Every structure is written in structure tokens, then in C-alpha cells.
């Protein structure tokens, strides 16, 4: 049984005391199996749980999310990974179950942002998933259950301090949700809008066909978008989010950020990157940073000096032309936006990152110019009619 109230060490910051989590009626829908979750941990846990369970219900596949500061750094379903994807996600040496594959994809697309993440799993955590979580820098995990062996692995992480939550999969919150800001209470109906296939039926471009694989990716991108701090844009391919642009004040900045992250995911699969020879003993986090520096166009002298020390032999850098040629081969990426595009600039940027399918609410006075831009690039665009702001 879960208690109806639990004290927290502090709120969002150490000086914000006292802090607690509680239910106005009944018991908490989760049980703490290890560690002591904090205020931000629970915000990440409860938001990421909704994301993975919505993907699980819609796509009938194991789903995972990597959350940081109440937005997904990555989210995915358990689509098998290519050898290049496994190497780019640093899991080529592991045996992966479908659930572990989902987390490898969710964690791997933006490893820098996923550092110190909160993990959400849609299915019972198995040993392969626990072993993957065990070796990563992470704050905690939420799942419907854990096998005894997986739970034993996770309880040993951080010398017993790793936070492990078991969530009641049958829990359904009440329709109204409340938030208190500066002593003022706000109330609204919770966002239970289902993300389904029919959401993408209204196609407004010359091209109309969306293959099933792209439809799955649109579901993944849009469900992730629903739990991402606004303004936001997500890109996805092969059952995983490849780039998230969260919490920006302009639509084009969301798109630039998401596209830049997506580009890095695909560039990490370049043969030159996969062939990098790191010095003995370099930890994965440092390797990850070194790869990002390797893919930058220019480094400062200090960055260059620190970067060179991570390799046995300093590699020749990819030129802008070589990176552009690699990215030009990327196609079939989907883009979903939580609100309409006010201008065509986001479509112009997306065209450089392999985007072939776009979903957005529509409703801008400039819809026609955005549609025209999609037609120029041969994209298919759907108007969903649904805004998905999340704050």
C-alpha cells in the first residue's frame, strides 16, 4: 500500500522547505522501492510516465523516455536498432530486450541532455534494461514493476541511493487539475486529448501519402510533444525522437534547436565518428562530449587542447561539406509542432534536416505560405487542429 503523503528533502531548490507530496483523497499512486525522490524528480516521473503509457497504449510496443527538467530529452518505442544506431548510442556491447532498446533509443539520441536523467518505462523493467540504466548517470526510474533481479541491480546503484518508483498502472487521475502560483490557485481540465491516427488525416499539401512507418513516428513525435515544455517542436524517425526544441519563445528557435539535435544524432552514425579511437579509460560521458566537439565547425584553442587529449590519435575533422553530404542522405524524418507556424522559416530550416512529414495545428494567417514551402520541398503536411501547449 502507498501512503497518502510523503515528505521531500526540499522543493525545487534546497532553500524551499518544507516540501511534500500528497493526495487530497486516497493513497499516492506510486511506491518508493529505493532512494528518496525529490520535488523535481516527481515532476519528471509523473510527466514521463504519462508519455510512455500513452505511447504503449497507442502503438502496442514497449516505450521509454529520458526526462530532464520536465521535458523529454528523448522518447522511443522498442524498434530494433541498426548496428550504426547501436554504436552511436553506446550500446553495441549489450544484449537488448525490446524495452532496453526503447530506452537505448530514448537515451541515445541526445546523450548530452540525457546526462542525469529520469527514466520512464512502460513495461516491467527486465535485467537488460536495468543493466543499461545501471551504467548510465541517471537520477531515478519509474515503471509499473520490476523483475526481482532487475530491482536488485537498481537498488545497488549509487550505493542504494538510486531512486526507484513503482507506479500503479491502473491509476487514473481526476479530470480537474490544480496549480498554485504566488498564492493563486489555477484549475483546468487535464489534457487527456488522445493522440491517434485520425489526428493526421487532414493533409493540406500536394503530396498526401504518409507510409505507416512515418505515421508511427508522427505518433511518437506528437505524444512526446504533449509532455514537452512549450513552445516546442519535436523530430522523430525509426520510432524515436531524434530532436527536441523545448521552452523557446519563438517557433523558429524551437525548430532550429530540434533540427540541430536531430542532425547530431544522424552525424553520430557517420563512419568517421564510429571509427574514432579514444584514449584508454575515457568515460562514456567524456566520449560523448568529445563527439559533439568533433562535429562542431570550429573550436576555441582551449576546447581544441582538451578535445585532443581524449584520443589515442587526433582524428582529422569532418569538413562542413562532408557533414552536409551525409545529412543530405537523411530522409523520412517527421516534425511535429505544438502550435502553428507563423512563417515559413521553420519549414525552410526543417528541409535541411531530412524532414519529409510535418504535423501542426494550423490556423495561422500565413498558413498558405507555409503550405507552399512544404510543397516546394516535397513534404506532406497535416493540420491536426489541436494545440498542445504544456507548462
Cell of 156: 545497488
- Angle, in degrees to the nearest 10, between helices 39-59 and 212-226: 150
Q: In the structure grid, which three cell numbers stand for residue 287, read together?
A: 566520449
Active site residue 15: no
Distances in whole angstroms, Cα of residue 106 to Cα of each of 98, 314, 330, 349: 12, 30, 19, 24
Instruction: Tell me whether residue 189 is one of the annotated catalytic residues.
Output: no
What is the Cα–Cα distance from 339 to 347, expressed in whole angstroms?
Answer: 14
Cell numbers given for 28: 499516492
Where does residue 165 rank: exposed (0-12), middle (13-18), buried (19+ CB within 10 A)? buried
Which of 196, 191, 221, 189 is closest to 72 using CA atoms?
A: 221
* Options 47, 68, 226, 261, the catalytic residue: 68
Three-class SS state of 86: helix
Q: Is 68 a catalytic residue?
A: yes
Q: Quick check: is 375 catalytic? A: no
Catalytic residue among 41, 231, 288, 289: 231
CA separation for the pair 131, 146 (Å, rounded): 13
Residue 388: all three cell numbers together: 498542445
Cis peptide bond upstream of 196, omega within 30: no
User: Catalytic residues, which ones?
Assistant: 68-69, 231, 391
Amino acid at each position: 500500500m502507498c501512503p497518502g503523503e510523503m515528505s521531500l528533502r526540499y522543493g525545487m531548490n534546497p532553500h524551499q522547505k518544507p516540501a511534500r507530496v500528497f493526495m487530497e483523497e486516497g493513497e499516492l499512486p506510486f511506491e518508493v522501492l529505493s532512494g528518496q525522490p525529490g520535488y523535481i524528480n516527481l515532476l519528471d516521473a509523473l510527466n514521463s510516465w504519462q508519455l510512455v503509457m500513452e505511447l504503449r497504449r497507442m502503438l502496442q510496443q514497449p516505450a521509454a523516455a529520458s526526462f530532464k527538467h520536465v521535458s523529454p530529452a528523448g522518447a522511443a518505442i522498442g524498434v530494433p536498432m541498426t548496428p550504426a544506431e547501436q554504436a552511436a548510442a553506446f550500446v553495441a556491447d549489450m544484449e537488448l530486450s525490446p524495452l532496453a532498446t526503447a530506452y537505448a533509443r530514448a537515451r541515445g539520441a541526445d546523450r548530452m541532455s540525457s546526462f542525469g536523467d529520469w527514466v520512464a518505462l512502460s513495461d516491467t523493467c527486465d535485467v537488460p534494461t536495468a543493466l543499461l540504466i545501471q551504467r548510465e548517470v541517471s537520477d531515478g526510474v519509474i515503471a509499473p514493476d520490476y523483475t526481482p533481479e532487475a530491482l536488485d541491480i537498481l537498488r545497488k546503484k549509487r550505493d542504494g541511493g538510486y531512486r526507484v518508483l513503482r507506479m500503479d498502472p491502473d491509476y487514473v487521475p481526476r479530470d480537474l487539475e490544480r496549480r498554485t502560483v504566488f498564492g493563486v490557485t489555477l484549475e483546468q481540465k487535464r489534457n487527456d486529448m488522445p493522440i491517434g491516427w485520425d489526428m493526421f488525416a487532414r493533409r493540406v499539401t500536394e503530396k498526401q501519402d504518409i507510409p505507416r512507418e512515418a505515421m508511427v513516428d508522427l505518433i511518437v513525435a506528437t505524444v512526446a510533444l504533449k509532455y514537452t515544455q512549450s513552445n516546442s517542436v519535436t523530430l522523430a524517425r525509426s520510432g524515436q525522437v531524434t530532436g527536441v526544441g523545448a521552452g523557446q519563445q519563438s517557433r523558429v528557435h524551437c525548430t532550429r534547436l530540434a533540427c540541430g539535435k536531430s542532425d547530431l544524432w544522424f552525424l553520430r552514425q557517420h563512419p568517421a565518428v564510429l571509427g574514432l579511437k579514444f584514449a584508454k579509460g575515457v568515460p562514456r560521458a567524456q566520449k560523448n562530449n568529445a563527439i559533439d566537439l568533433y562535429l562542431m565547425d570550429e573550436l576555441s584553442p582551449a576546447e581544441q587542447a582538451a578535445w585532443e587529449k581524449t584520443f589515442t590519435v587526433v582524428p582529422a575533422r569532418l569538413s562542413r561539406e562532408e557533414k552536409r553530404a551525409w545529412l543530405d542522405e537523411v530522409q523520412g524524418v517527421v516534425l511535429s509542432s505544438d502550435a502553428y507556424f507563423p512563417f515559413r522559416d521553420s519549414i525552410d530550416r526543417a528541409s535541411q534536416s531530412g524532414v519529409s512529414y510535418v504535423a501542426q495545428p494550423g490556423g495561422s494567417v500565413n498558413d498558405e505560405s507555409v503550405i507552399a514551402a512544404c510543397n516546394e520541398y516535397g513534404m506532406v503536411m497535416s493540420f491536426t487542429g489541436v494545440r498542445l501547449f504544456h507548462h
